[in-house]
Amino acid sequence: MSTIAEPMNDTQKPVKRMTGRTVLAWIIGFFLVIFAANAAFIYLALSSWTGVEVESSYKAGQEYQGEIDAASRQNARAWQVDAHLARDAAGLGTIRLEARDKSGAPLSGLTFSALLERPTHRADDRTVTLAESEAGVYVGTLENLAPGQWDMRLEGDDASGVVFRSRNRVFLSQ
């Protein structure tokens, strides 16, 4: 039997064989990438928002009926409360709130406050007390207010305590 040998060109590359070490290196590399991605996701999840809405679920459950009663009293008053949050290019935020009773008369003598919360990051939360600028109109300002989504919680108090509560999601553009 004769064999004919063909000369090897310089353009042909030698075939690399897949060895056991190569397979092991690929498997270890694959799992290292998966572990690194999981570690990054866990870090971001734990550092951005804890998921805690109330500190004590038991205490919140005990106060639940009182919250329902307060909401019923608020609905019975039939107040018309309109709040507007605006932000200028310099980051100055302004909240303007108009409060009227069910007959349309302005509500004076109340103390309104606004809590602006980021839905996912509590470190940016801001509180402002609104001052009555004219009958039934309450205004407050916030400096360095960042754009994006905010939850605006409004509370109105009189001598008897909290008489109005509202929670709204707002979006501030650039």
| pLDDT for 11 beyond 80 | no
In a domain, 42, yes or no: no
pLDDT in tens, 117-151: 988 777 788 999 999 999 999 999 999 988 989 99
pLDDT in tens, 83-101: 999 999 888 999 999 999 9
In a domain, 53, yes or no: no
- Do the beta carbons of residue 113 and residue 138 sit within 8 Å? no
In a domain, 18, yes or no: no
Counted domains in the chain: 1
Query: Whole-structure pTM over 0.85, yes or no?
Result: no
CATH number, domain at 106? Answer: 2.60.40.10
Q: Report pLDDT for 15.
A: 80
In a domain, 117, yes or no: yes
Domain housing 99: 79-172
In a domain, 24, yes or no: no
| pLDDT for 1 beyond 70 | no
In a domain, 39, yes or no: no
In a domain, 21, yes or no: no
- For the chain, give the number of residues: 174
In a domain, 107, yes or no: yes
| pLDDT for 3 beyond 90 | no
